[in-house]
Amino acid sequence: MHDGKEAHYIHPKGPDHWLLKASELQVKPWRCGFNHSRVKRSVVIQPPYKSNVRSRYVEMIIVNDHKEYVKMKKNKEAVVDRSKQIANIVNALYAPLNIFIALVGVIVWTERDEIVVSSNGDTTLTNFLTYRKEQLAQEHPNDNAQLITDTVLDSHVVGKALKGPICTHEYSGGVNMDHHEVVGVVATTMAHELGHNFGMEHDDKDIKCICPEKRCIMASASTSPPSPSQWSSCSKHYLQLAFEQGMDHCLWNLPEDIVGPVCGNGFLEEGEQCDCGPPQMCNNECCDAATCKLRPHAQCAMGACCDFTTCKVKKSATLCRDSVTECDLPEYCDGQSEFCPVDVYLQDGTECGRAYCFRKQCKSHADQCRLLWGPTGQVADRQCFKQNDLGNGNGNCGYNRINKTFTKCHKDDIMCGTLQCYHLNERLEFGMESAAIQGKLYITDKDRSYTCRSVIVDLGLYTPDPGLSPNGAKCAHNKACHNQKCVPLEKLYGTKCPYNCHNNGVSTWDVGCQRI
């Protein structure tokens, strides 16, 4: 809870609850171990309070080591509950950045540690990231994983993470020491380490950083209370740079399953009328944060069609979701529900410039080359795409990150495999360069030479590799790419619609014809 001057924490103590000033908390001196080097249920989850079309969602798993389990008197339920509380606060800290943290899993090592947890933070981080890559991500899909340990880390370090790998399969995770009984303090540490995953540096690296508090979340060390709760201008700048590089590529989907239901996690779930986050951080006048119920005067407290000033549903025909691409359509409130209607877009296969619409996106080979390599990126000659039937690092129809094997393209599908480009930029402008596999090939054919540039971008196991030709790209006459196959346009259509809806509207993916 923030009163405008400092943060307060509500801390359970036996049957009672204490209201603690952050400035009065006794916190041992600590520092972050980051060294500036790179390397469910079936219920539909509703978007969080104040989310919008630009919101990002981090599907996070929290892993608790065996020492943490012992510390909590081997009470697994207590460990899980503490993890939920920490995640709720991390979510509240990131909400002002339009980033929402969804806890999709809590793991407790009740028998033994699955990795070697060392007092050396670097060793523990390396071991944990290997565990996430080889086991956790395959068993429990996630965008990011955070380890909570009761092991005391060396040199007063309370957390470790790498910079910039938020969506990668290799490095998206962090280590956090449970160094304080108040969950808000530990949550701030986790928010800090996650900040490194988002590409943020320590605030004291740049003397020009502006912080609205004495110390912000990305401060490198803490020697006195209170625990920070705000982001500096530098953190916001680094975050924007990460977004411009496409490091948020895996964060656009709303989670389907989260740990819960939990009142206070910011997501509306079964049995709740609203959820605006932890009571100490909720500023929604329409929602009782303690009970996740509407206040007596409120008609609504969530959704893009709720007026948070009056707590009433907005009038019919009020725009609630604008179109974001030429293949997208706007949505309007119906005057009955606080939630924006389902997102509709033009039918897959609708022509859009030099490509065809697919899942509301319009991406040609040229568009994707510019995305990867910047404004000088262009599509390479077809001779380069012929390499895709070899099934190697320079040309393929897919890369399996688990067994590290390539899929060969059938000769009819070569234009839908590895995206072959050429450009004047030697630096990859999309994704984490150190986690990408770049290819460069020179081909000579009939006295002509061709430069072929390719890349395998690590954006996790479950996100399509942008280094492959995008779905909807033209690959032949009346054909488009779909999952590395060159298919007739008819295969992209969900349902057969009259051409242009008899000139009365447009075909959409879910409801057929829609009048415009």
Question: Would you please indicate which residues are annotated as catalytic (active-site) residues?
Answer: 193
Q: Which residue has the tokens 């859009």?
A: 352
Interatomic CA distance for residues 239 and 428, integer angstroms: 18
Consult the annotation and say whether 196 binds a ligand.
Answer: yes
- Cα→Cα distances 48→284, 419, 428, Å: 12, 36, 34
Angle at 82 between CA 80 and CA 83, to 5 degrees: 65
Across 162-278, the runs of DSSP E, i.e. the strands, are: 173-177, 221-222
Consult the annotation and say whether 202 binds a ligand.
Answer: yes
Interatomic CA distance for residues 62 and 82, integer angstroms: 10
Nearest alpha-carbon partner for 376 in 453, 490, 441, 467: 453
> What are the helix and strand counts (H, E) for the chain?
8, 28
Map residue 61 onto helix, strand or coil.
strand
Interatomic CA distance for residues 233 and 227, integer angstroms: 18
Nearest alpha-carbon partner for 336 in 362, 360, 317: 317
DSSP-derived secondary structure for 245-292: TTTTTT--SPPS--S---TTSSSB-TT-S---S-GGG---TTEETTTT
Contact 288, 254 (CB under 8 A): no
Consult the annotation and say whether 66 binds a ligand.
Answer: no
Binding site residue list for Zn(2+) = 192, 196, 202
Binding site residue list = 192, 196, 202
